[in-house]
Structure 1
């Protein structure tokens, strides 16, 4: 049996399904923790007497933490392994969430939101790399895309929780809203118990016997020494892999592509998640906080709804058509809101909902591309660096949203969002690659190399990947 069948062509086992649930827990928490602040800021603003600048910092500081966390802990994950970091970041999320119960000053809110962002940034390269390196090729794109879906689900649940707290206890319950993330954190921690280390990572570290035992356990059969020997030959790097390799040539272009397109998806999305009720109020939807929050829940459901056909299209139509279509039609959906900011509430919700559906479909690619375009030795580092690039712009953009709303007005702010989305289309037009139905090693090659070598030729020359 070719070693190709060990992972890339294996069936979807019970362990794979359990790993999908466990890895999805991180993005769920990420979506929840980064979105709950959108509802909590209303009460925090009143109790802590925050000025507009402090509100902007409180909304954006998690993205700064996410930038630092992803940039620092991506390389750490490549160095010490996926499984060690798999639970450490969850502990930080849980502790920081519980600590929100004792906030009594604006700087404390900002500090804890930074720590939450730090843990979220660490989880992106950890969970996505581990899942990518275990998943069969047939299901890889959809299952990595599922992490984005679960992120959106976490955001929806955050607003539902916020709406429930606001309706039952009023805006003053914001501390409990922020602390509620700890409950979900404990659940995810339990799901992650008993996970195996990535066999690809183990092999690159020379721990082949551990990899053989773990794969045997997952596949339910004894993996032979010959299969592992073939696997070692395929995974062993041809040259030392260093973080600086990501800053040169094709790798740098791919990092910029992943980071910049992620940024173009994230800025309008984070603006809606963080300041959705405020934006909807400016556009005349909702006469009170609860009404605007309900409108935000509807928009979040739109992001979630769009991701499901995206998961289908990413395998049936491919990565490149999906990203191009999402950016193009997403930009067109925001233009009417910029041209007619005083439109009736139904018009506002209709086009915002349309944008949310379109953005949700393409957003599943933000985890897929950086995990498929880089080799095992640099995968977590690449995901971390791409995340960091995306969050530089996202943090600045999110901070400037309230400034733009008050200084430029709602219409120009919507047109800026349309322009950013159109920028994503232009970047993708030149740089987006097609990685559908390609194994991980082939996808990490240059496009020319990947297309030159057929599967049969690769098998004959020993370059077929897992």
Structure 2
């Protein structure tokens, strides 16, 4: 029997829990920033006399910023380290959020939200790379997967804040500025977070890496306990060639297929539910219920990712979620409760693919390019999400609700097919084994992930 590894088989410590909580501040702010604008636009539109096109630009500007910031943040974190950027990116969110309260026209607002989105997008590869490189393999999957759940927590918080400020004169300025409050709390909590010893080793800063390892894991632990990653000089170009190109294609396609229907359902839930027969208050409560079910789906995925493994989870998640959307397309005239039940079924079953958006990219690439890989995959998926979200109202108008749901089902089934062909199993492997081309399969008795 193999002796426990001092890092990969370490128990879950207070340090790991704090790091996971502080790192999840990025998706919390993502959910908050993208959700609060929907409430704020109710007041912004009449104040600035916005056209529908301008409303769309205000709503989409942060999403475009995330697209741009994710890859830039990934490249920067691979080049300059995880720790130094772990707080700088949030400082930009704080400054721009406060500045939104003083804008005098829509173009300044669009510009500031673009910058906020860039900072939020940059935080994803920075925070997930740092967390992945510290996490024991048994807990790596659940800790990374929990990122998605925090997105919905942020969204719920935004709706509560928005509702509280809705009847305040000029309340939209306070709504948008309010994002600075959680950002300040998160940046203060992140101060003092150590640099990744794996990244320090790649930069040949051995003494610093040893100091971090001894501080986190105790005396006697050193860089000699990081043997699994070969010291080869891998560049970002490796993402587009050899086995890493295939891995990048898999991650980008499955991520896109996962979030295109989800973003559409989430953004246009009331409109879709109304077209399917749920109107008025029932549609609003139905949308809130579906949001809760998305969170439940993420929690279910977290509970299953170690038990089922990555590959079975992603295949089953796509397959059952696609079936739920297909049934919504077929039974458009069903009772309101059946429609709501099918939407809930989709929200819960798609949770497995949601948590794997952050697990797979961090596991399948080596330290040198891990941040760039996460950033590139996130950016590519946001292109599809933006296009898909934009096309949903067009599809509802020209194709109808039934075919819109069927198209969503087809996109979801494509994700299932790609996962059947390319999804690897990384449960029970060390981070170095996961990132190696042709990595060995985990032992059948492995309990870790």
- TM-score, normalization by structure 1: 0.88
* Alignment deviations for residues 318-337 of structure 1 (CA, whole Å, 9 cap, x no partner): 00111111111111111233
Match for residue 220 of structure 1?
218
Which stretch has the larger CA shift, 120-129 or 63-72? 63-72
Asked if 1:276 corresponds to 2:256, the answer is: no
Which stretch has the larger CA shift, 419-428 or 267-276? 267-276
Q: RMSD over aligned Cα, in angstroms?
A: 2.4
Aligned counterparts of 1:195 and 1:445: Cα–Cα separation in 2: 28
* Alignment deviations for residues 126-148 of structure 1 (CA, whole Å, 9 cap, x no partner): 00000000001111111111111
Distance 1:4 1:107, change over 3 A: farther
Distance 1:327 1:436, change over 3 A: same
Match for residue 184 of structure 1?
182
Aligned counterparts of 1:269 and 1:163: Cα–Cα separation in 2: 24
Match for residue 462 of structure 1?
none
Secondary structure, aligned partner of 1:326: helix
* Alignment deviations for residues 341-377 of structure 1 (CA, whole Å, 9 cap, x no partner): 4554433322222211112233100000000000011
Given that 1:326 and 1:358 are in contact with CA atoms closer than 8 Å, whether structure 2 keeps it comes out as yes
Match for residue 240 of structure 2?
247
Q: Aligned to 1:263, which of 249, 256, 260? A: 256
Given that 1:22 and 1:188 are in contact with CA atoms closer than 8 Å, whether structure 2 keeps it comes out as yes
Match for residue 18 of structure 1?
18
* Alignment deviations for residues 392-432 of structure 1 (CA, whole Å, 9 cap, x no partner): 11111122223333343333222222221111111111111
Distance 1:363 1:193, change over 3 A: same
Aligned counterparts of 2:114 and 2:181: Cα–Cα separation in 1: 20
* Alignment deviations for residues 112-135 of structure 1 (CA, whole Å, 9 cap, x no partner): 222222111101100000000000
Residues 10-89 of structure 1 correspond to what in structure 2 (within 5 A)? 10-89=10-89
The count of aligned residue pairs is 443
Aligned counterparts of 1:292 and 1:93: Cα–Cα separation in 2: 33
1:196 CA displacement: 0.5
Distance 1:353 1:243, change over 3 A: same
Residues 331-410 of structure 1 correspond to what in structure 2 (within 5 A)? 331-341=322-332, 343-410=334-401
Distance 1:94 1:403, change over 3 A: farther
Distance 1:344 1:375, change over 3 A: same
Secondary structure, aligned partner of 1:435: coil
1:390 CA displacement: 0.7
Match for residue 464 of structure 1?
none
Secondary structure, aligned partner of 2:56: helix
Distance 1:197 1:323, change over 3 A: same
Distance 1:454 1:242, change over 3 A: same
4+ aligned runs moved over 6 Å, structure 1: none
Aligned counterparts of 1:272 and 1:183: Cα–Cα separation in 2: 29
Distance 1:174 1:123, change over 3 A: same
Given that 2:83 and 2:195 are in contact with CA atoms closer than 8 Å, whether structure 1 keeps it comes out as yes
Aligned counterparts of 2:38 and 2:285: Cα–Cα separation in 1: 12
Aligned counterparts of 2:327 and 2:49: Cα–Cα separation in 1: 35
Aligned counterparts of 2:105 and 2:264: Cα–Cα separation in 1: 24
Distance 1:297 1:161, change over 3 A: farther
Given that 2:260 and 2:388 are in contact with CA atoms closer than 8 Å, whether structure 1 keeps it comes out as yes
Per residue, is there more helix in 1 or in 2? 1
Secondary structure, aligned partner of 1:82: coil
Match for residue 461 of structure 1?
none
Match for residue 447 of structure 2?
none
1:57 CA displacement: 3.1
Which stretch has the larger CA shift, 433-442 or 150-159? 150-159
Match for residue 440 of structure 2?
450
Match for residue 110 of structure 1?
110
Given that 2:144 and 2:359 are in contact with CA atoms closer than 8 Å, whether structure 1 keeps it comes out as yes
Aligned counterparts of 2:399 and 2:39: Cα–Cα separation in 1: 24
Aligned counterparts of 2:100 and 2:258: Cα–Cα separation in 1: 29
